[in-house]
Structure 1
Amino acid sequence: MKGKPVLIVTSSPAFTGGVRAQAHLREVLTGMLARVIVWPQVVIAGVHGKVQNGRVADETTVQFLHEAVGGLAAEISLLRRSLA
């Protein structure tokens, strides 16, 4: 994982959305020298009400996820250019 860009996304039926799990995972990935993307925490709280038929149905959540993945893609692009 050393040097690899990583985006952490958690979800939970609880209102916290897996924040504590995300904190632990961030600590582990940092210890592995992964490049954890600095982004507002991507936590999907109350996930049971936002997913229908296996797909995220909540439009606000979908938009936030798209932006976060876009941030990951931008980080990957920057890393590729710096290695070229």
Structure 2
Amino acid sequence: MIALKKARKLIQADPETPSAKVLSALVIALESNQAFPLNQLYTLSYPQFELALEILAEWRLDRYYSSKGRLLDLSVHAAELQTA
């Protein structure tokens, strides 16, 4: 689950960046079965866009992988920072 680890590191490094916010929102939407506006993915650089696609693929393959839980916790924390 390399993409999940990459996303966790990217978000952890600076949760205030636009790319960290988009990836956090994607992770939260995936976990909560909520809608995610796909046009947000187009705001990412191409390598980050590819990372988002890898997250989708990995998420589909293994919904119960432990890295997902850590990434979700970090994403929720990053989302809380946005609302504060």
TM-score when normalising by structure 2: 0.33
Bigger fraction of residues in helix: 2
Structure ID, larger Rg: 1
Bigger fraction of residues in strand: 1
